[in-house]
């Protein structure tokens, strides 16, 4: 952002008088944190226990808690706080982390006694001695005179819903001084570019239907910029609402010639069966891509089972009528989470005192729990992929799979279902996911810097679990769409280097799917994503 190297020490940004900055590297913080907990543990624990403990400390929860650990040490340092008029943090801890930190009870016991379950409590073990500091940090965050929380969202229905959930969750903890920033709003426009008009309408509709909780917040909108907001000049132009200079490549075509989804379907259909999993961050288009893939395979005459957690109508019930080979099976995450929670509470709850119970209950509210519960439901249909195609619209992260695997609960689960017949060769879901002949993982992302970095992290995480992603899908690309609108065309040109990076450095194979004017819902629109 500032065209300078930041580090884990506060240093001055020389180009901006009055501004100092520090970068907390969450991965480095997490590593230091892991070492602090694991080193003493290594003296007594077995190799198996070490492997389980290491995995428990390798997930998003650890990174978040380690980052929060750094954050609190800044927040509770009186010298540092007194030196500045404003301190700006570019991410806040989630409600789940803050609630965990507020719980009484002995965190340190959990690495050993939590054995046998995937848990977010492990990472807390290293924090025991600093409870007073966390209490102080949380108190300052809840003080409306001192702390303002700015919720940032794109003008999309799903993003606004997510931000509304965060707003409620953090308000419940006491962070009530909330403001809303909507970023990347398509500006009012002249001209007759159909795509630009459709995107403008879509943004406005999403803003009109914004959830009530965030509608009441003080709000400011920021327009979609033609340029990437990197570097001081671009930031200044943004802050002062000045126009971006025309890009150097403006004589180049906005539209690139990239492989489309049909090339991936061609490769996949050769096998006539197998598991296809679509992974990626929230809202990038996993469900849409999974549905388009499933619909096209069915149209080509293959038998396909599509499993989805998406209750929305955009898959709609008619899919199966239009495409007789396609079966859609829905998984309701809320039902699966309840089922999983009941099961864990029944098994573990009876051995715990009131404090332990409170911790277990909070742990079961973690994002890992949802992933595990949903994956258990998915696992029930994975077997089917030895007979025909099974397309899954979300997949667990490598971390969750490893947790399930190293804590042993996964294997036990499998053994229970397989009964006593030891002569049957066991193929656990984990083994199936690692087998490139049985499973193909697609990483779905967008042609922008941060989504591609996130997708790269996801790929590393899967590799850690012994799973090699098969292809990348770059969705909602302007560079693959047809637009002459100056703003969109400039953004389209900015996508080319991102797509090149995926093509040459990151993906074994890839496809680019154009940004659509209308939400791709229903069989016709889904199929048209594949056959352009
Ligand atoms: N190529 C595209 N062009 C325009 N809109 C798209 C495109 N792909 C997906 N969308 C729209 O973007 C929204 C998010 O897509 P989708 O629900 O498939 O994402 P997801 O990754 O499954 O989200 P979640 O993480 O919430 O499950 C939907 O409204 C969908 O219709
Ligand atoms: Mg989805």
CATH number of the domain encompassing residue 496: 3.40.50.300
**Confidence at 104, pLDDT banded by 50, 70, 90:** low
Q: Examine the domain organization and report whether 391 and 295 are in the same domain.
A: yes
Q: Examine the domain organization and report whether 175 and 135 are in the same domain.
A: no
Q: Is residue 359 part of a domain?
A: no
Q: Examine the domain organization and report whether 513 and 383 are in the same domain.
A: yes
Q: Examine the domain organization and report whether 318 and 377 are in the same domain.
A: yes
Q: Is residue 415 part of a domain?
A: no
Q: Examine the domain organization and report whether 267 and 384 are in the same domain.
A: yes
The count of other CB atoms within 10 Å of the CB of residue 214 is 22
Distance of alpha carbon 530 from alpha carbon 527, whole angstroms: 5
46-55, 77-86, 257-266, 484-493: which range is least confident on average?
46-55
Q: Which residue segment(s) compose the domain that 77 sits in?
A: 1-145
Q: Is residue 43 part of a domain?
A: yes
Residue with CA nearest ligand 1 atom 28: 519
Give percent above pLDDT 90 in the chain.
41
474 CA to centre of ligand 1 in angstroms? 12
Give percent above pLDDT 70 in the chain.
87
The residue with tokens 């967008």 is 446
Report residues whose beta carbon is within 6 angstroms of any ligand 1 atom: 158, 280, 282-288, 310, 314, 475-476, 513, 515-516, 519-520
Distances (CA, A) of 377 to 322, 333, 412, 439, 466: 26, 9, 16, 17, 22
Tell me the chain's radius of gyration from C-alpha atoms: 24
pLDDT at 300 exceeding the cut of 90: yes
Token pair belonging to 461? 């995480």
Q: Is residue 424 part of a domain?
A: no
Distance of alpha carbon 384 from alpha carbon 43, whole angstroms: 45
Last residue of a domain, one of 94, 125, 145: 145
Q: Examine the domain organization and report whether 110 and 183 are in the same domain.
A: no
Instruction: Report CA dihedral (26, 32, 36, 39) to the nearest 10 degrees.
Output: 130
Q: Examine the domain organization and report whether 378 and 399 are in the same domain.
A: yes
CA 462 to chain CA centroid, nearest Å = 14
pLDDT at 423 exceeding the cut of 50: no
> What pLDDT, on a 0 to 100 scale, did the predictor assign at position 2?
83
Q: Examine the domain organization and report whether 436 and 484 are in the same domain.
A: yes
287 CA to centre of ligand 2 in angstroms? 4
Q: Examine the domain organization and report whether 377 and 505 are in the same domain.
A: yes
pLDDT at 20 exceeding the cut of 80: yes
Alpha helices in 14-127 (DSSP H): 26-42, 47-56, 60-75, 78-83, 95-102, 110-113
Q: Examine the domain organization and report whether 111 and 24 are in the same domain.
A: yes
pTM for the whole thing? 0.86
118-132, 152-166, 384-398, 487-501: which range is least confident on average?
118-132
Q: Is residue 348 part of a domain?
A: no
Q: Is residue 356 part of a domain?
A: no
Q: Examine the domain organization and report whether 127 and 158 are in the same domain.
A: no
Q: Are 461 and 397 in contact (CB under 8 A)?
A: yes
**Confidence at 521, pLDDT banded by 50, 70, 90:** confident
Number of structural domains found in the chain: 3
Q: Is residue 247 part of a domain?
A: no
> What pLDDT, on a 0 to 100 scale, did the predictor assign at position 51?
79
For a ligand 1 pocket test, name from 196, 519, 524 the mutation site with the most ligand atoms within 8 angstroms of its C-beta: 519
Q: Examine the domain organization and report whether 130 and 174 are in the same domain.
A: no
Ligand 1 atom at shortest distance from the alpha carbon of 475? 1
């Amino acid at each position: 952002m500032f065209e300078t190297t930041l580090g884990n020490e506060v240093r001055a940004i020389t180009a901006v008088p009055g501004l100092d900055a520090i970068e907390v590297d969450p991965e480095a913080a997490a590593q230091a944190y892991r070492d602090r907990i694991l080193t003493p543990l290594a003296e007594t624990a077995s190799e198996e226990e070490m492997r389980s403990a290491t995995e428990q400390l390798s997930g998003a929860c650890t990174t978040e808690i380690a980052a929060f650990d750094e954050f609190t040490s800044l927040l509770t340092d009186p010298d540092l706080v007194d030196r500045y008029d404003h301190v700006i943090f570019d991410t806040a801890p989630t409600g789940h982390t803050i609630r965990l930190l507020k719980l009484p009870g002995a965190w340190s016991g959990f690495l050993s006694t939590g054995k046998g379950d995937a848990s977010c409590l492990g990472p807390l073990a290293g924090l025991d001695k600093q409870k007073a500091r966390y209490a102080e940090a949380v108190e300052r965050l809840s003080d409306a005179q001192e702390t303002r929380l700015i919720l940032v969202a794109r003008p999309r229905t799903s993003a606004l819903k997510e931000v509304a959930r965060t707003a409620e969750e953090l308000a419940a903890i006491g962070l009530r001084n909330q403001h809303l920033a909507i970023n990347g709003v398509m500006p009012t426009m002249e001209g007759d570019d159909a795509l630009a008009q459709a995107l403008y309408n879509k943004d406005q509709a999403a803003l009109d239907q914004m959830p009530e909780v965030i509608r009441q917040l003080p709000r400011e909108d920021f327009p979609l910029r033609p340029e990437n907001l990197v570097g001081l000049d671009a930031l200044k132009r943004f802050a002062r609402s000045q126009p971006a200079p025309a890009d150097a490549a403006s004589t180049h075509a906005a539209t690139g010639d990239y492989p489309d989804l049909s090339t991936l379907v061609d490769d996949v259909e050769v096998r006539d069966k197998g598991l296809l999993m679509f992974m990626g961050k929230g809202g990038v288009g996993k469900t849409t891509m999974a549905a388009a893939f499933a619909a096209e395979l069915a149209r080509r005459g293959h038998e396909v089972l599509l499993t989805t957690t998406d209750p929305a109508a955009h898959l709609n019930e008619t899919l199966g009528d239009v495409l007789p080979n396609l079966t859609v099976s829905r998984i309701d995450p809320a039902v699966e989470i309840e089922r999983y929670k009941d099961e864990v509470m029944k098994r573990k709850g009876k051995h715990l005192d009131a404090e332990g119970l409170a911790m277990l209950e909070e742990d079961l509210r973690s994002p890992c729990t949802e992933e595990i519960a949903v994956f258990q439901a998915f696992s029930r249909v994975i077997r089917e992929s030895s007979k025909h195609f099974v397309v899954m619209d979300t997949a667990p992260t490598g971390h969750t799979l490893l947790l399930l695997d190293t804590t042993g609960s996964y294997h036990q689960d499998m053994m229970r279902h397989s009964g006593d017949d030891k002569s049957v060769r066991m193929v656990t879901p984990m083994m199936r996911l690692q087998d490139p002949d049985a499973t193909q993982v697609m990483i779905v992302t967008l042609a922008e810097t941060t989504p591609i970095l996130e997708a790269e992290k996801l790929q590393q995480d899967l590799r850690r679990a012994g799973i090699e992603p098969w292809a990348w899908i770059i969705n909602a690309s302007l560079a693959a769409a047809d637009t002459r609108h100056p703003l969109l065309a400039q953004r389209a040109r900015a996508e080319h280097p991102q797509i090149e990076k995926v093509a040459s450095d990151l993906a074994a194979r890839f496809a680019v799917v154009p940004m659509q004017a209308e939400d791709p819902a229903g069989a016709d629109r889904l199929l048209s994503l594949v056959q352009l």
